[in-house]
Structure 1
């Protein structure tokens, strides 16, 4: 995909204040960016939350991670142009996105991770895996990545694949195994590994 000069409203699947932007890749308005950051790669951020990230927000703070350099930055909701159409996300930004752990999760220093998450581009390229502490973090990682990545894989500590999604569709394990796992969680037990 060729580098764009800038992203516009036409490149967004949704704009305005009526939608939630938390957990999505957002486009910032060019006018909100510092002069030295006027290319399209500096317009793309992953929104991790904040009072301004909700639909019809009561606050204005939007917490983000830059998909150009990984820096965490707070913006105002008025700086947000909209949610980027997933197919327009450049490969370099997809690789940066794949390295973001879910927010509000266990500190890596406090728990030994049970899983690692990987996201792949269509040509097979990927960045190093992201450590995930437990099943909840693994599911949140999948949710973050599924709309933007060609392939998402979760592996256990022995690097065996326990979950795989291709083009947004689960290919491993089967739906039957997933249903049993979810039923086990509802019953308070963890009968089946992710």
Structure 2
């Protein structure tokens, strides 16, 4: 991967206000960053939501997690250049992204987590697992990681693999087992899609 000093509009899948940026890695405009953060890694954030994250937003608040250091930061939609092309995400940012739990979920101190999520780089490197409270949160973790990570894996409380995806393709369990699980979740009122 080519290291960049600055991400530009050409590095984005989409730009402008007509797109949703929630659940995506976004690129901030260089002009919006403090002078001490004038490098490409500090332009990258994962968008958790906010009124400004919607297509043609009415509000302007965008809630994010910095992929340089994991801090939570609020930006305005006008600070956002666009959504980054997944193949351009640097390895360090991929590792930081793998540590983000889906937003608006159960506080871990209020639940006994059922799963841990892991994301791997092509060379096998990974960060520690992320605790995930339940099936719904586990599915959200997969959805937020799948476009950016080489390999995504979920393990149960006993550290047995219950799900694995490589390059966006599910390799474990079989498609029939997944379909059966999703059908059961729909019957219980949890409309979950991968």
Once residues 66 and 173 of structure 2 are traced to their aligned partners in structure 1, the CA distance between those partners, rounded to angstroms, is: 32
Once residues 189 and 146 of structure 1 are traced to their aligned partners in structure 2, the CA distance between those partners, rounded to angstroms, is: 24
The corresponding residue for 1:99 is 99
Deviations 1:4-41 (A, max 9, x none): 11000000000000000000000000000000000001
The corresponding residue for 1:109 is 109
Going from structure 1 to structure 2, the CA distance change for 1:43 and 1:185 (only over 3 Å counts) comes to same
Q: Normalising by structure 1, what TM-score?
A: 0.96
Query: How many angstroms does 1:187 deviate by?
Result: 2.5
Once residues 189 and 2 of structure 1 are traced to their aligned partners in structure 2, the CA distance between those partners, rounded to angstroms, is: 45
Q: What CA RMSD, in Å, does the superposition of the two structures yield over aligned residues?
A: 1.2
The corresponding residue for 2:33 is 33
Where do 5+ consecutive residues of structure 1 fail to align? none
Deviations 1:50-72 (A, max 9, x none): 00000000000000000000010
SS at match of 2:81: strand
The corresponding residue for 1:158 is 158
Where do 5+ consecutive residues of structure 2 fail to align? none
The corresponding residue for 2:64 is 64
Query: How many angstroms does 1:99 deviate by?
Result: 0.1
SS at match of 2:23: coil
Query: How many angstroms does 1:189 deviate by?
Result: 9.2
SS at match of 2:82: strand
Q: Which runs of 4+ in 1 moved over 3 A?
A: none
The corresponding residue for 2:142 is 142
Deviations 1:174-193 (A, max 9, x none): 11001111111222399xxx
